[in-house]
Structures are given as C-alpha cells and as structure tokens.
Structure 1
Amino acid sequence: MKDFLSPDISLEQQFELLREHLLYAKQNSPFYKRFLDKNKINVSGIETYRDFQQIPITSKEDLQRHNLDFLAVDYSEIIDHVTTSGTLGNPVNFMLNEADLQRLAYNEYESFKIAGIVKNDVVQITTTLDRRFMAGMAYYLGLRKLGAGIIRTGSGLPGLQWDSIERFKPKFLVAVPSFLLKLIDYAEKNGIDYKNSSVKGVICIGESLLNEHLEASALRIKIQRLWDVELYSTYASTEMATAFTECELHKGNHILPNLIYTEILDEAGKPVKNGEVGELVVTPLQVESMPLIRYATGDMLMNIGDDCACGRKSKRIGPVIGRKKQMLKIKGTSLYPQHIQEGMNALEISDYFIEAKKDIFGNDQVCIKVSEEFSMKPTEIQELLREKLQIKLEIHRISASELLRKKFPKESRKPMIFHDLRSI
C-alpha cells in the first residue's frame, strides 16, 4: 500500500513533493516531455515557487487534444476509466492505476475526517457509482479506508433513500444539496418524520453552500430551515482527483497540501491577493497515471488568507463564483450563472434552468425558463430578481415535461441548470 505524508506538512515538504512530481511527469509523460522541452523548462533547475511559475499553463483543450499523450504508465496498468462531467463541452477521458485509486481513497479518507466522520458512523451515498463518475467511486473507497458503514443507494429514487434511512440508520448522507429538497418534499407528502430521522449531517457535492462573501448561500439557508442537519460543502473535479472540504466552522474549503498545489491567477497569469477572485490552477501531487502541471480548471474563486479557527494548518479556498468561460455580460453588468442561481434559490424557485444566447449584435442574452406549474407570474419573478441582481432578465414559462428533459438530460450525471448556446 502507498504511504502518504500527513496534510500537516510544511511548505518545504510540499515543495519537495512538487519537485518529485515535475521530475516524474518529465520522465514518464510524453506530453510533458515534449511540452517542457518546447518551452525550454529545466525541471531539475526549479528551486523556488517563482521558478515553478515560469512553466506555462496546461489547458483542458490540451488534455482533450492530446489525451493519451498525458498517460505516464503503460496502458495495461489502468484499472479505472472515467470521464469529466463535460460541463463546458465534450467529456475528457481520465485514467487511474492501482496507486491512483489508493490516492483517491486516501483523499476522501482525509476529506471525510475534516467533516467529522469517524469509523463507527454509517454513511449513505446518494450519488451514482457508475456512469464513468470518479466521485462516486472516491466516496466508496474513502469510506472503506475510514472503516465506516456504507449504504450505496445511488442517485434519485427518494422512496428508496428514505427506506434505506429507516432500515440502516445512517448518520450522514453524501448528496447534491438540491436533492435534499426533493427528499424533504417526498417525506412531507408521504408522512415521513424526517426531522427525527437518524441523519445528522450531509456531505454536499456539486453546488456551493457559501456565497462570495463567505456567508451561507440561499440554498443552505432554505435546506436548514426545513431540516436541521449539518451541511458540509465540498469541491472537487475529475482532473484534480482531490477534494476541498469544509470543516465544522463552514468558512471555506480546506486544501490537502500533500495532494495538491494550488494557485489562483488573474487574467495576466499573476497570483491574486487573498480575497480577490481569480482562476484556480492546480498541480495534483503523487499522481501516477495522468500527472498534470499547472492545469487551469476554469473555476473562478479566491484564497482565504487568515487561519481557520478550527486549528487546522491547511489553507482554504472560497466557493466557486463561476466558470471562466460562462461569465455573462448583460447591459454592462458582468455576472456568472451562479449569481442567478443564488437569486432564484433566495426566491425559493427550484424548477427552472438558465439559457444564454447571443443577439444579432453579439451581445449576451439570458432567459430563465420556469415551469408553467409554478404559481408566481414571470413578471413577479423578474422584478424580485432585479432587486437582487440589479439587472432585468427575461422569464419564460415552459411545460414541466420540457423543463425536466432540459434540466436532466439522460447523458448527464448532474442537473444542467445553465445552457450556454452562445457559440452555436
């Protein structure tokens, strides 16, 4: 079994892991051997973080275009084949060998510990373990390493979720936050006393529970008003194979510095100050199959500068404010789909999706499609949303069946709330 340093490592220990990672990628990854040679980067001569920052950024397009050239082990070693979610285009292939699966298990083991899960706890995983989804497998492996009890219900099926909760008495769920609202709705309609269930906490994925001011999001407030459970926000991606997790204080997501080196950069590629929003660029450490160096995630967020009162030494990042390529500019106002989602959540509207197009002059046009079964008039939604966002957005009604088809396409692993048609 692979040994890992503790997350409580020094900057010097992290930099040594970073140097080892660079040397490994140069020696074993066809892409990085070519990439580093082309850019005249001598990895043996990298002695400081300033030296490291001279390495050019790797993009998702690089990973897509030269996919197998990133592979740093023999193809026969690959055990798990997964893909990215495809939020910004076609999913990208990603592969893991035995050592990477051990690293994935260790990552979630440490992540669950930050959220307070211990060996004696029982955890119900309400996300899929199939459909080429890395996270579902990661949760399972991490809980096994922790020694916790596991209930694998998979996604959807509120009836099965509540039956499993009644049968096995889990203390924690792993779930998408908005799915908790469906569980609550099902419980209320079927006479289930959910407020007195065994569930005390939820490891939340896919949706942020903090806003950019590090305050509880409208979604978190709504859920906890209905169901008094502790919600722990997490952030991760397939390429990072590393989770960032909230502690019990809920003031940002802790980094695992022994597994990942993070940078947050402005448009010019320079580090932003603490509290300023930039693009997250990552170098996942101790990866064997598909090592990445200075990989641009496309996610816009910020570093949190002060130490966490929980006592952990690891740095923290704020919530994802938006995806770099999804930024909208409407009548001079710049915002991300997440800002609109936060506004809709504050209005307690869940049956909707957002559609962005270009008008004949090349300007961004945004329309929110809501279910025709929703009682509030489009003009009412428009005015209430304008108070929160300071812009007027189009609101259109569509049938519940069309909304369901658009928001939950069969090929997607998660709800598609934002449909970006600007390049079509």
Structure 2
Amino acid sequence: MIPKLEIASLSEIKSLQEKKLRELMVYLNEKSPYYQNLFRAKNIAIDSIQTLEDLATLPLTTKEDLQQHNDDFLCVPKHAIIDYVTTSGTLGDPVTFALTDNDLERLAYNEAISFACAGVKKEDVLQLTTTIDRRFMAGLAYFLGARKLGAGIIRVGAGSLELQWDSIIKFKPTYLIAVPSFLLKLIEYANVNGIDLKKSGVKGAICIGEPLRNQDFSENVLSEKIKASWAIDLFSTYASTEMSTAFSECEMQNGGHHHPELIIIEILDHNNTPVTEGEVGELTITSLGIEAMPLLRFKTGDMVIAHTEPCSCGRNTMRLGPVVGRKKQMIKYKGTTLYPPALQNVLNEFSAVENFVIELYHNSIGTDEISIKIGTNTPTEALLQNIKDHFRAKLRVLPSIEYLDIEDIRALQFPKLSRKPVIIIDKRP
C-alpha cells in the first residue's frame, strides 16, 4: 500500500505539493481568523505564493502563537467539529485542536499508510498499549488507521501488564503499538511468570515516544536490550498533534518516511533559513488537507536531520532521522552542547536502572545544570560509580546523579493529567 505519489518523481511530488499549497493559502485567507489578520498585518498577497520556495517569504507560526491565539486558528463552525484533542504540553501550556469528519478521515489515511509502511497488512492484528482516551490524538489515530487498513485492533490501553499478556495470549496480535521501554516491562513480566516469548505470536512493534536508532540508523541501546530478549522487529515512528501526520519507518529502517500529500516540511537553522543537506535543523511544517485547524510554517521545536536519497523500499520521499532533541531542551553544560536523548541513551545501558528523571535548572550564576534521579532495586556505590564512568566516557561530562525511591520517581514521571511518562523536567526560566 504505497501511495502512487510516494514513488513518483521528485518533480511530480513538488508539483502536487505546490498545487496543495496554493489551495491552502486561499483557504486560510477565507477561513482562518489568525492567518487573515497575519496576512493583512504583513501585507501578504496570497497569489504571490506559488512555489515551495515562496514559503520562505511567509512568517513562521510558533507554539506561543498557538497558545496565545488558540481559538483564532479554527476555520470551521463549532457544529462541524467531531473531536477535540489536546497537545501534551511538554514545552508549555497544552493547545486544543479540533477535528472535523474530513480531518478524522485524513488522520485514518495517514495512519493506515504508516502502518503499511512498516509492513502491517489487512490480515494482521494490532494491540494498542497506549491510551485512546484523555483527548490523546495518537491512540485515536491508531484505532482509525487500523480500521482504514482493514487490520484488527485490540484496545488494551496503557499499563496493566497482566491484561496486556492476557490479551496477547488470548487474541494473538501480530504487532504491538507501544513505547519501547514498556516492551522491557512486558519482557520482565513474561520472564517472571513463565511466559514463552517465542510463542507469543508477536512479530513486530510499532514504537512511539522514544528513539530506537542512533543518527546512523544503527540500533541504540534501548533497541538492543529489547531485541536481545524478544526477537521481534521494531519500527520507529515520529508524529505530533500539531502535524496530524506520522513519519514511519519502512522495512529498511532508515528513517521515517515523509507523506508529501499530507505535509510540507522545511528544516531550518537558528536564523530560520534552510540548513545545508545533512545538517541538524528545526522541523517546520505546513499541513495539507486539514479542515479545522491547518498550520502554515509551524515550528515544531524538534531538531532533526533530513535524508533525501531514495530508499530501497521504492519510495522517493524524504526521510527523517531520529529526533536529536527538542530545541528548547538544548543544554549547554560545562562547555558541551547536549540534548536530553543523549543522556537517556547512557542510562538505558543499565538494566539495574528501573526508572529515572532528568532535571534541568539554572545555577546561581544562570548557567545550565543537570540533576539525574535514578530508581533502582540495587542502589550500590559500585553501580553509581559505573554510571558516572559511562557519562564521562560517552559524553565527556558528569551531571549530578543521585538515587531516589522508585515510587517517588514514578510519581514525578506521571504528574496529574499526564498521558505519557515525563522524563525531562525542565525548570529553567
């Protein structure tokens, strides 16, 4: 199920995107209070935007714009709204997004082709281990996508290892949709309770929320730990509520494929100009085909590398590498620039580490500090020293590290109304 556009020539892909961009400009000028005001204030003539290159002449949309003018982005009357979702609010106040019936159909199409990209077929059954409620877009998208593809789906939801395994044994899903670290908990439960992983029937997992690859697409420590115990395929995906679009790996596992019929992307540097090929930049998106709340040149805050060479799966679309980090979570620590995923990767090397949080804050002179709180059943001095040695060797820095009770860390990871674990607690102003 590869859409024809994704195996078309680059010129054909660009031509279709430019047609959809021109349609979007007309739509925003007619329907969006926010962009109507912006175009008027900046004296923007919508018919001057004809090509992808012309996008660079338009203002950017930020998370702060969405937070401050949330209702002004709505392009449809309230009676046309079928579903409301909210962002997780990782880097600020949550933002509400409304979806029409057509938006839900687009969401289903996106997830269906994303599942198919990872090799999921109509005959497969997926087990959903993430929430579908609490205004969470991803859970809804997975359910709608499975229906669109024709595959079965088991809505177990978050947590409850016993119920997860009861469903796996009873219904024999072929794929799990899960946060990678949750797969480690499933493995641990199976080992303790005498469940044979080889007989589970699970052949793969569609993974969200945590990276599985290094920047060269080799497996990272977390991926290696999972596959050492459970011989299943792991497929990395990246998405956000604002995009209503996913970047999913194919069987080649060399980055998440771009769906050009759904989204235009730019990779921008700190001056908001395009990076040179192969460099890290901020993913900036323009959504296509969305009715209720389309976005124009929205800065996601995620730092990524784009890969433009054709994939051996047959798709000619650009691919995104693993997210390097969130722009606002960049750390300048004792002369070294870091992003939290690098810290997480070191901690994931230790099976004795049950859970952890990484706190970022400013010291008395206003520079960045890192405090890592670790939960473990074996809080020995030897383990602590080993972890410190790994930080020095891998990152050439040594943050503050201390033990905390496992349950206390769990409470930090799951604050009230949280839909997913909070690993990074950024206390910097």
Q: Same fold (TM over 0.5)?
A: yes
1:204 aligns with 2:210: no
Partner residue in 2 for 1:146: 149
Residues 410 and 86 of structure 1, relative CA distance in 2, 3 Å threshold? same
Answer whether contact 2:355 2:376 (CA < 8 A) is retained: no
In 2: Cα distance, 1:319 partner to 1:384 partner = 22
1:62 aligns with 2:68: no
The 5 Å alignment of 1:345-360 reads 345-348=348-351, 349-360=353-364
Q: Output the amino acid matched with 1:55.
A: L
Which secondary structure state, in structure 2, belongs to the residue aligned with residue 130 of structure 1? coil
Further displaced range: 294-303 or 391-400: 391-400
Answer whether contact 1:379 1:395 (CA < 8 A) is retained: no
1:275 aligns with 2:278: yes
1:366 aligns with 2:374: no
Further displaced range: 137-146 or 399-408: 399-408
Further displaced range: 136-145 or 188-197: 188-197
User: May I ask how many residue pairs the two structures share in their alignment?
Assistant: 420
Q: Encode CA deviations 1:336-384: one digit per residue, 9 max, x unaligned.
A: 1111001111234341110111110001110110115234532321122
CA-atom RMSD in angstroms: 1.3
Residues 372 and 342 of structure 1, relative CA distance in 2, 3 Å threshold? closer
Partner residue in 2 for 1:294: 297
In 1: Cα distance, 2:220 partner to 2:253 partner = 11
Partner residue in 2 for 1:129: 132
1:114 aligns with 2:120: no
* TM-score, scaled to structure 1: 0.97
In 2: Cα distance, 1:401 partner to 1:225 partner = 27
Partner residue in 2 for 1:245: 248
In 2: Cα distance, 1:213 partner to 1:393 partner = 26
In 1: Cα distance, 2:139 partner to 2:290 partner = 19
Partner residue in 2 for 1:383: 389
In 2: Cα distance, 1:195 partner to 1:366 partner = 41
Which secondary structure state, in structure 2, belongs to the residue aligned with residue 101 of structure 1? helix
How far 1:212 moved relative to its partner?
2.1
1:315 aligns with 2:321: no
How far 1:290 moved relative to its partner?
0.3
How far 1:92 moved relative to its partner?
0.7
Q: Which of 391, 394, 397 is the matching residue for 2:403? A: 397
In 1: Cα distance, 2:25 partner to 2:388 partner = 51
* TM-score, scaled to structure 2: 0.95
Further displaced range: 331-340 or 39-48: 39-48
Residues 372 and 227 of structure 1, relative CA distance in 2, 3 Å threshold? closer
Q: Which of 186, 197, 206 is the matching residue for 1:194? A: 197
Answer whether contact 2:309 2:316 (CA < 8 A) is retained: no
Residues 5 and 310 of structure 1, relative CA distance in 2, 3 Å threshold? closer
How far 1:313 moved relative to its partner?
1.6
Q: Which of 322, 340, 346 is the matching residue for 1:337? A: 340
1:85 aligns with 2:92: no
Partner residue in 2 for 1:228: 231
In 1: Cα distance, 2:94 partner to 2:380 partner = 37
Residues 251 and 376 of structure 1, relative CA distance in 2, 3 Å threshold? farther
| Identity rate, percent | 50
Answer whether contact 2:99 2:292 (CA < 8 A) is retained: yes
Partner residue in 2 for 1:168: 171
Q: Encode CA deviations 1:178-220: one digit per residue, 9 max, x unaligned.
A: 1000000111111111222110010001111112232211111
Partner residue in 1 for 2:29: 26
Which secondary structure state, in structure 1, belongs to the residue aligned with residue 337 of structure 2? strand
In 2: Cα distance, 1:235 partner to 1:91 partner = 19
How far 1:8 moved relative to its partner?
4.2
Which secondary structure state, in structure 1, belongs to the residue aligned with residue 240 of structure 2? coil
How far 1:223 moved relative to its partner?
0.7
Answer whether contact 1:119 1:148 (CA < 8 A) is retained: yes
Q: Encode CA deviations 1:60-82: one digit per residue, 9 max, x unaligned.
A: 11011001100001111111011
Answer whether contact 2:126 2:152 (CA < 8 A) is retained: yes
Answer whether contact 1:57 1:293 (CA < 8 A) is retained: yes
Q: Gaps (5+ residues) in structure 1?
A: none
In 1: Cα distance, 2:400 partner to 2:63 partner = 32
Partner residue in 2 for 1:218: 221
1:263 aligns with 2:266: yes
Residues 160 and 77 of structure 1, relative CA distance in 2, 3 Å threshold? same
How far 1:137 moved relative to its partner?
0.4
Q: Output the amino acid matched with 1:399.
A: D
Answer whether contact 2:379 2:403 (CA < 8 A) is retained: no
In 2: Cα distance, 1:376 partner to 1:54 partner = 57
Residues 252 and 387 of structure 1, relative CA distance in 2, 3 Å threshold? same
Q: Encode CA deviations 1:289-333: one digit per residue, 9 max, x unaligned.
A: 001000000000011132111111211111101000000011110
How far 1:280 moved relative to its partner?
0.3
Q: Encode CA deviations 1:94-119: one digit per residue, 9 max, x unaligned.
A: 11010100000010011011011111
In 2: Cα distance, 1:350 partner to 1:16 partner = 51
How far 1:238 moved relative to its partner?
0.3
Q: Output the amino acid matched with 2:161.
A: P
Q: Which of 41, 44, 54 is the matching residue for 1:51? A: 54
